[in-house]
Structure 1
Amino acid sequence: MKTIKKINKYLVEHYPLIWNTKLVWMLAFAIIVHFTFFIAGFLSVNTQRDVSSHYNLEGFYYDSPAFLIGVLTSIISLLIWIIFYLKNNAFKNFYPLKKGTLFIQFCILFLIFFTNITHYYSYKKGVTSKIKTLYNWNEIDTDIKKFNNAAIFFLKNRTNYEIEEKDYPDPFPLEVVSAKREDYLGITIDTTRAFIKHNDEYYQFFKINHELIAEDVKNNVFADEGIYDEDSYVENSQPFKYRIVYDISSYKELITPNLYNFSREFISYGQDSTDRKDRLIYYQKLLDKKDENVLRNKLDEFYNLAKQYNVKHNIKKEDWLYLLNFKNDYQYIINIKDRKALNYDLDKLKLNYYRTKKRIDTVLIPNTSHKKDQIYYSQFPKTSDGKSVLIEKEYHEYFGYVPYCDFSGLNTFFKNVYYTFHPTFDSVSLYVFIVLSIVFSLLIFLFKTTDIRNILLSVVAAGVVLIFGILLIFIADRYLGFNSKIGILIALILNILIVILSVLALLNKWRKGLVSILFSLAQFAIPLIILLAVIYYKELLGYPHRNNDPFLMWYDLYGFWFTIIIWIISIYFYCKAIRKWRAWTE
């Protein structure tokens, strides 16, 4: 306590503004709280299950009790600080203040608010620091590639194995159209160029000639029809014009879903186009070998990987090899389930998983004189006694279970680890914290420089302006027809009027209370003016010009900081004006 008193005595004598705002103690408290949240975040992650327990790194804070604790800590600490801060007010008591003191005081308020509401960053840093101690990115990246290489065996979705998904080798990937009847030929399929008939259905494979489309766009070929996108051009009255057709007769058998068509990336984090190309080449070489031992070894590698990453599954190797169907050129048989089947589905689903086998049955030749029966049984070999025949029949050998492989949480795990080692700037949360800090600081600062009565009257005035604006929009909607531009323009004009009136009130020395109310409203109207002006400008441009407008492109990048700077500058001028206002008589 003696040390605290000594520090306070020194501050009040040498740095009264720092003493009055309790900056030293609030920063010290903020540092302690931030360190506590860092430790809490560090201890919250210990296993792979912990890392994958939240969809993203932000969820470790916002989807846990840490968020509520952080909010309550901020509220309690800031309320206690405000009580002590408002005890002394040199401005209201006409103590001599140096130029710039008021603005510096606002900056200190902002710093106190910002450091006491941003526990999220410390907690997240604790989480990512712990993840870095548990995992090595190079090892994780290697394992992601192993999972991607094994993904061709997962048999998760039949559509992933259709020929539309094939990306390798050239000329794939290709688009495809089909027709089930001959009378559709010439409508969906260009019969003057290569097409394929497979299983009583017709197919044509092609790529879109985007260069020709661009040329037609440039020449306004379809301008009269009001078409603005490539898809619409392709679906126009001359769709064949934009097709670059390929003859893929050598891949005809792949029209039926097949492992050769699989090109999907299972885990994308940290993988680039080179990794993707290498993976597709790997698939091709692996399947071309058609070696059962190679496939067994690859499945063993996956079993080890699944054990390492707690991937739950029940697939027996022999059953999995059968489903890969390498003896029948890898034609797709059936999906492996994403998760364990529920009991009420179990018996029904079991019937879908079986091997088709053949066996020899001994069938007694019936005493019959029918010629058809005689012809039928004559094609089978007879037993030694001549009374029976040996008939080969197909039967189903059921797996007896529903195979599944549950990857739930694995993608989230790799995502959280990836963004731990390759963090992105969380601009949204930073913007929110900055705006909240300015708003709270400004409210306290306005109370410090005026009084609670004027603050409450400012709130009432803001409500009146809002009601008036809504009435104007309602009238415009009733008599002019609703247009979003009108609503934005009305809001923009009202905010501009507030700022203009506040300046006129100060220059003409209107009633002191009225000036205080107008200036309080103006401090919140200024950033709204910038935002509404940009939105109104965007609406005036319309689509598609707004997407290429240089100013809007610049504003998307720097607009937030531009608005904040203008807002801070307006607060600086408010601090200068309020000194003159304070000297007026009531």
Structure 2
Amino acid sequence: MQKLNKFNQFLLEKYPTIWNTKIVWMLLAAFVFHIIFFIIGYLSHIDPVSLQKYSVKDDYFKNGVIFIHLIISILLIVGWLLMMLKNNAFKNFYPTSKGKLFGQFVQYFIIIFSCTTFYFSYMTGFRMFINNKYPDHEMAKNIDIINRTAPFLSQNIESYTLENRLFPKPFYDLYCETDIAEIDQNKKFFVYYNRVYQYNSLYAKKSYQKDKRGNFIPPNPEYSQKIKPAYTTEEEKYETFYYKKDVVDLSSYIKTTEPSFYNFSEVFYDYDFKGYDDGVGAVESHNYYDKDSPDYILKNKKAIINQKTAELLNSKNQAELEKLFEDFLSISKTYRVKNNLDAKKWVSMIYSKDNPNFEIRYFIKDYAGKTRTDEDAYYEETVAVDSAVASSDYGNANYTRDSIKIREFNPEINQQIAPDKYAKNNMTEYYYLSDSMKDLLKSVDSVKKEDFFSDNIHIYLWVAFFLSTFIFSFRITGLRSLLFSVISAGVLTLTITLITVFYGMTFRGEEKYFVSYFILFIGLIILLIPLLKMNMLNKMVSSIFVNISMNGFVLFVLLIFAIIRIHQNAACQTMNAYTDSYPYKNCSDIFEDLGFMLSYIILITGFVFMYFYTTILQKWKAMPE
């Protein structure tokens, strides 16, 4: 205790501003709680099941930790204010320089920031645990095993139909046409129930010309002859149009048109954290390779999966397949993914003497128990209803036409089982919660790679800045002046709102210009009065202008940027109207150009303003009471 008193005495004598703000003790207290939150973050997801959910990085806000955070932050700040407000050098006319005043404000900011940013310590602990528990080299090895095993889960019949096949190479290079209306009946095609497949070679043409709406114009003579492209790929300066050329007969490769393991080519999960397949680990909205919008990076990855699956099937090495399944189930056990699979029985369901083409003869449930949960059942019912509505919207004439036309390709369709019924009839009692595995892998990657600091730091910076300016205003002008300032700001806001409403009802149109410049004019008056006319005003009245200026200057700067943005958008709209383009096409503004940098620019401007404004505060304090 004596050492603490000596240290306090040392600070009082040598560094009175630091002693007055209690920053040393507050930073020590904040450091202790940061350590505690780091430990909480490290221990929060020891159980792998806790990672089997969407957006696990938001658990801080969902599991109640944020409320503990808020309580501790409030207690620390209130306790700090009680200690600090016992002594106010400026209020008691002690000698105070401009630098000391600004130094106090900066210390307020540091104290509040350190007492409100426990989230970052929590996430740092969380990330350290994930990096230690799920190292990259181990995850890469496990994800490879998972991706090579996923083709044998057979949970969705649509993943095993013929249009998915990408190996051998002819399947990769050719375009698979599945639209009945586009099939050439005079050339080789393949049929499965109501699905028709025809493989075509392609030729490509690039277009660099755009129409008035900014869309690339298809090349000629195809455009003039109304030949539809199979698909297109758009770059920044051009768009490539792919057109069907010749039909290619792949009968030598296609032994069956039934759903088969040979056709599976989906990537269960990509370690590079790209948005593939079911959107698992998705950063972007585009999902899997589609003939109308191909992603060749993903297509290559899918082709590799397809090749590895085919080679494993062709080897007919049941021991190798069983070892793969055992490794997969061992990983699932480590990650606590629910399933009731057995490696040997699983292999026996795949290899059968009467099934040389490895057609899908069984299906594994993606849910535990006899039926799905209420949520899953609701989802399936919703999808079924939406599909029915879509079919109805498609038009009875088209629906009837295609129903008749499919019989031309498959006369025996009435004697065959529909794919969905076939899957239901061959569903086993085995289950594997693949979504849980995907969620876990996504959670691990998101915690490792997502920038939680940059996305959230602005909130805490601005909370600390505004609280600092508010407390600084209280320390300088006192409670009475601050209360009058708050009331005056409220009345001013209400007055501006009423004038704006009246303007909108009277003149109608361009209210944003009137509001922006009216607030800018009022703001300039509030800022200039303490600079030019302070001695002509009562000290209480001038304190109102001082307080509003300190607390509202950053908002004034933001208003200036907003006015610039309004004029940029107006100029862009005028230009697009002149060129007969869309109103906001290619319209960038200062907010989009600067992004998060705008927040830092305004924050720095706020600190610079506070530094120079301390001179005004000294002049205000020197005024007679």
TM range (shorter): 0.7 to 0.9
Matching of residue 24 in structure 1 with residue 17 in structure 2: no
1:249-278: CA deviations, max 9, x gaps?
316677654433333221223468586664
Matching residue of 1:536:
566
Q: Against the structure 1 CA distance between its residues 330 and 571, is the aligned structure 2 distance closer, same or farther, given a 3 Å change threshold? A: farther
Q: Indicate conservation of the 8 Å contact 1:195/1:203, yes or no.
A: no
1:39 deviation in Å? 2.5
1:304 corresponds in structure 2 to: 330
CA distance in 2, matches of 1:303, 1:38: 33
| Superposition map of 1:6-155 within 5 A | 6-50=6-50, 52=51, 55-56=54-55, 58-155=57-154
Instruction: Say if 2:161 and 2:257, in contact at 8 Å, map to a contact too.
Output: yes
Q: CA deviation at 1:417?
A: 3.3
Distance in 2 (alpha carbons) for counterparts of 1:84 and 1:176: 75
User: Is 2:517 the counterpart of 1:487?
Assistant: no
Per-residue displacement from partner, 1:180-201 (whole Å, max 9, x unpaired)?
A: 5xxxx4xxx2859977363576
- Per-residue CA distance 1:543-570 (angstroms, 9 max, x = gap): 6867574855540252221121112222
After TM superposition, the score normalised by the length of structure 2 is 0.71
1:357-396 alignment, distance < 5 Å? none
Q: What is the SS of the residue equivalent to 1:279? A: helix
Gaps of at least 5 residues in structure 1 are 350-395
Query: C-alpha deviations, 1:30-83, integer Å up to 9, x for none?
Result: 111112222333333434234x16644633433334322221111011101112
Q: Which has the larger radius of gyration?
A: 1
Q: Match for residue 450 of structure 1? A: 477
1:384-422 deviation line (CA, Å, top 9, x unaligned): xxxxxxxxxxxx9x9895331113433333334335554
Query: CA 1:178 to 1:406, structure 2 compared with 1: closer, same or farther past 3 Å?
Result: closer
Count of matched residue positions in the alignment of Structure 1 and Structure 2: 520
Are 1:240 and 2:228 an aligned pair?
A: yes
Aligned to 2:292: none
Task: Tell me, yes or no, if the aligned pair for 2:484 and 2:544 is still in contact at 8 Å.
Answer: yes
Contact 1:260 1:283 in 2 (8 A): yes
Instruction: Describe the shift of the 1:344–1:529 C-alpha distance in structure 2 as closer, same or farther (beyond 3 A).
Output: closer
Task: Give the corresponding residue for 2:389.
Answer: none
Q: CA RMSD in A?
A: 4.1
Question: Is residue 568 of structure 2 the alignment partner of residue 580 of structure 1?
Answer: no
In the aligned structure 2, how far is the partner of 1:99 from the partner of 1:145? 63
Amino acid at match of 2:486: V
1:230 Cα deviation after fit? 8.8
Seen in structure 2, the aligned counterparts of structure 1 residues 100 and 400 have a Cα distance that, compared at 3 Å, is: closer
Write the letter of the residue equivalent to 1:110.
Answer: F
1:96 offset after TM fit, Å?
1.4
Looking at structure 2, the residues matched to 552 and 253 of structure 1 have their Cα atoms a distance apart, in angstroms, of: 58
Letter in 1 for 2:599: F
Distance in 1, matches of 2:562 and 2:328, equals 56
Pair 1:441 & 2:468 matched: yes
Verify the 8 A CA contact 2:52 2:443 in the aligned structure 1. no
Q: Which one is further off, 18-27 or 572-581?
A: 572-581
Rounded Cα–Cα distance in structure 2 between residues aligned with 1:259 and 1:62: 43
Separation in 1, partners of 2:363, 2:223: 34
In 2, the alpha carbon distance for the partners of 1:502 and 1:287 equals 78
Q: Tell me: CA distance 1:553–1:237, structure 2 relative to 1, closer, same or farther (3 Å).
A: farther
**What is the rounded CA distance, in whole Å, between the counterparts of 1:519 and 1:195 in structure 2?**
84
Letter in 1 for 2:17: L
Amino acid at match of 1:533: I
Q: Compared with structure 1, are the counterparts of its residues 178 and 131 closer, same or farther at alpha carbon in structure 2 (3 Å cutoff)?
A: closer
In the alignment, the residues of structure 2 paired with residue 322 and residue 104 of structure 1 have an alpha-carbon distance, to the nearest angstrom, of 75
* Consecutive unaligned residues in structure 2, runs of 5 or more: 230-240, 275-296, 378-422, 574-581
Q: Is the 8 A contact 2:172 2:303 kept in 1?
A: no
Deviation readout 1:108-149 (Å, 9 max, x if unpaired): 000000111111122222233333443432112200111011
Aligned counterpart, 1:337: 365
- Indicate if the aligned counterparts of 1:197 and 1:203 stay in contact, CA closer than 8 A: yes
Q: 1:489 to 1:288 in 2, by over 3 A?
A: farther
Distance 1:501 1:293, change over 3 A: same
Contact 2:145 2:324 (C-alpha < 8 Å) held by counterparts: no
Distance 1:172-1:516 versus aligned 2 partners, 3 A rule: farther
Which of 262, 265, 268 is residue 266 of structure 1 equivalent to?
268
Structure 1 329/77 Cα, relative in aligned 2: closer, same or farther at 3 Å?
Answer: same
Moved more, 335-344 or 116-125: 335-344
Match of 2:340 among 305, 314, 320: 314
Q: How does 1:507-586 map to 2 (within 5 A)?
A: 507-509=532-534, 510-511=536-537, 512-522=539-549, 523-524=551-552, 525-533=555-563, 535-537=565-567, 539-540=569-570, 541=572, 547=586, 549=588, 551=590, 554-556=593-595, 558-586=597-625
- Tell me if the contact between 2:113 and 2:460 (Cα under 8 Å) persists in the aligned partners: yes
SS at 1:88's partner residue? coil
